[in-house]
Amino acid sequence: MAGKTLEDLFHETLKDIYYAERQIVKALPKMARGAQSDKLKQAFEKHKEETQGQIERLQQIFELLGKRARGKTCPAIDGILEEGEEILEEFKGSPALDAGLLAAAQAVEHYEISRYGTLRSWAKQLGMDEAVTLIEATLQEESKTDELLTGLAESTVNSAAQKAA
Outline where 6-128 has alpha helix (H): 6-34, 38-65, 75-90, 97-125
pLDDT digit string (tens) for 104-149? Answer: 999 999 999 999 999 999 999 999 999 999 999 999 999 999 999 9
Instruction: Grade residue 95 by pLDDT with cuts at 50, 70 and 90.
Output: confident
Q: Rounded distance, CA 50 to CA 17, Å?
A: 15
**What are the residue ranges spanned by the domains of the chain?**
6-159
Return the CATH number of the domain spanning residue range 6-159. Answer: 1.20.1260.10
Query: Burial of 45 by CB count in 10 Å (0-12 exposed, 13-18 middle, 19+ buried)?
Result: middle
Instruction: Grade residue 12 by pLDDT with cuts at 50, 70 and 90.
Output: very high
Q: Rounded distance, CA 17 to CA 37, Å?
A: 29
Q: Rounded distance, CA 31 to CA 48, Å?
A: 10
Quick one: pLDDT at residue 1? 59
Percent of the chain with pLDDT over 70: 98
Cβ atoms within 10 Å, residue 50: 16
Instruction: Grade residue 6 by pLDDT with cuts at 50, 70 and 90.
Output: very high
Quick one: pLDDT at residue 164? 62
Mean pLDDT of the residues in the chain: 94
* Whether the predicted pLDDT of 35 surpasses 60: yes
User: What is the pTM for the complete model shown?
Assistant: 0.93
pLDDT digit string (tens) for 51-83? Answer: 999 999 999 999 999 999 999 999 999 999 999
Q: Rounded distance, CA 139 to CA 143, Å?
A: 6
CB neighbour list of residue 29: distance below 8 Å, 6 or more residues apart: 44, 45, 48
Give the residue-averaged pLDDT of 14-34: 96
